[in-house]
Structure 1
Amino acid sequence: MIRVVCALGRVEFERPHTAEGDPDAGRTLVQGLQAIGPGGEPSDISLSLGLLAPRAPYFDQLVLDAVEAGILQVVNLGAGYDDRALRFRHSGVRFFDLDLPDVVADKARRLEVMDTDTTHITLAAVDFGTADVAEVLAHAGHDAQQPTLFIAEHLVLFLEPGGVERLLAGVSSRAASGSALAITAEVHPAGLESGLVVSTVDDVMFSGAGPLHTIRSRDAWSALFQQNGWQIEDADEVTAVNHFELPVAGQSVQIQTQFVTATV
């Protein structure tokens, strides 16, 4: 449902494209999609627009910059119904869109009936909670000897901490010199215990059945990146959007979605 909400929200904005790209691909790709909540009720996608407004351009620009710099591989982790592989089509550039098997199967069906070139796109099914992303990419034809832009927009929040570590390690093993990794990281203020923050979010916002699993301090995110061979760019300049606020350990705590880009 969250993938659908994001996909429907993104097409509400004017988005950039390359000269060879398809500017209308996004709307065509999500035609007929409906965002249905856990109780079977339609979800209000307008609630996502405030988060998407700064986030979508950030990742769009990263892909444009990579294409212009001659990076020939873009790996979209948790791609959902994202259309960047179509909007940013460029001679010689291959896009790898990874997501859950049911999402990948539906996206493949939608791409098949679209009147647009998809020969540069590889779809790969993966369960990020258990699978070895490195093996999935190798099987999909990703070239670990060539630089790659890896992006994970609105993904790691939904993975358990161990899954996030496996993801970063797997991506790192496929990252040649010149590669970059960009993610959205949910960040709580320093001085709080991350497990307490996550459990409080679960209790307060989702009555114990929450889908959000990984929220860390900025320093903890930085350390995790470094452990896996990544150096955060412009570490002192944070691009972020306030996500939600809630009481933790007797104080009001603001959780931010921070946009983190690192080089190998």
Structure 2
Amino acid sequence: MTTQAEQTLTMIREVCALGRVEFDRPHTAEGDPAAGRALVQGLHAIDEGGEPSDISLSLGLLAPRAPYFDQLVLDALAAGTRQIVNLGAGYDDRALRFRHPGVQFFDLDLPEVVADKALRLQALDTDITHVTLAAVDFATDDVAAVLARAGHDARQPTLFISEHLALFLQPSDVERLLAGVSTCAAKGSTLALTAEVHPAGLTSALVVSTVAEVMFAGAVLLQTIKTRDAWLGLFKKHGWQVENATEVTAVNHFELPMADKSVQIQTQFLTATTV
């Protein structure tokens, strides 16, 4: 039986998928700009009341986030990168829009999401030979081993993108994800991640518990929220150097009441290269 938390996470995943196709997105000459809308056909993003969720609420967050990661893919292709790994890909269509000769895309997500996406891809009238889907449970699986089985070449540079994933993983799983990715990241690889960031001076555990209480009736759905310095330290620990670490690229995600004040939780975009 699907739990309320699982239903909410499904809704969030589908809201993001439906929201992305509302934008005019770039594509390569060989890419399929129409495939994204076809890929999400039939998704409804049902909310807690059993009604389709209002995707317009997500557009403000997606407006800066989607182009940021799109540009990273375009930059990687221009630089000659031949492997793109999308961690927590959901129904993202970048593998279709950015199809490029000699480039393999690896889309990783939960088994049930991968199974549904596979059926949707097979139903499309478009080339999917360059797309490899791989099922993974980020709470238990070794990402490097999953990628190796999928055919990823750890000797070649890779662009790893993780958009809207880390906040739903426990802190220990985020750390294990970064460690796993680092073991299969050849020199010249890039890792880009959206990080939920709270102001300094607050305890991360208290922030997470307050989010659960205030926003999700006690359910801990957003599990990893850290200070920016903590995120930078985590990247460094696992061999990743964040580019322009003093420059913050972010979008305000939500305000959170903490004691006698309201604090802003941001989604910050961190891009790092192998050290």
Aligned to 2:236: 226
Q: Which runs of 5+ in 1 are unaligned?
A: none
Aligned to 1:46: 56
Q: Which moved more, 1:144-153 or 1:25-34?
A: 25-34
Instruction: Give the aligned residue type for 1:182.
Output: A
Output the TM-score relative to the length of structure 1: 0.98
Q: Do structure 1's residue 242 and structure 2's residue 248 form an aligned pair?
A: no
Q: Do structure 1's residue 31 and structure 2's residue 20 form an aligned pair?
A: no
Counterparts in 2 of 1:138-177, with a 5 A limit? Answer: 138-177=148-187
Q: Which moved more, 1:126-135 or 1:156-165?
A: 126-135
CA distance in 1, matches of 2:47, 2:166: 21
Aligned to 1:13: 23
Q: 2:213 aligns with which of 159, 179, 203?
A: 203
Deviations 1:184-215 (Å, cap 9, x if unpaired)? 00000111111011111111111201310000
Deviation at 1:250, TM superposition (A): 2.7
- Percent identical residues: 78
CA distance in 2, matches of 1:244, 1:34: 24
Counterparts in 2 of 1:64-143, with a 5 A limit? Answer: 64-143=74-153
Describe the SS at the equivalent of 1:202: helix
Aligned to 1:216: 226
Instruction: Give the aligned residue type for 2:177.
Output: L
Describe the SS at the equivalent of 1:103: helix
CA distance in 2, matches of 1:226, 1:160: 19
Q: Which runs of 5+ in 2 are unaligned?
A: 1-10
Aligned to 2:73: 63
CA distance in 2, matches of 1:52, 1:18: 21
Q: 1:190 aligns with which of 174, 194, 200?
A: 200
Aligned to 1:255: 265
CA distance in 1, matches of 2:48, 2:185: 37
Which consecutive aligned stretches of 4+ in structure 1 deviate over 6 angstroms post-superposition? none
Deviations 1:76-116 (Å, cap 9, x if unpaired)? 00000000000000000000000011110010001101110
Deviations 1:167-199 (Å, cap 9, x if unpaired)? 000000010000000000000011111101111
Q: Is the 8 A contact 2:154 2:186 kept in 1?
A: yes
CA distance in 1, matches of 2:74, 2:194: 18
CA distance in 1, matches of 2:88, 2:219: 22
Describe the SS at the equivalent of 1:235: coil
Instruction: Give the aligned residue type for 1:149.
Output: L
Describe the SS at the equivalent of 1:243: strand
CA distance in 1, matches of 2:204, 2:104: 37
Q: Is the 8 A contact 2:208 2:220 kept in 1?
A: no
Instruction: Give the aligned residue type for 1:87.
Output: R
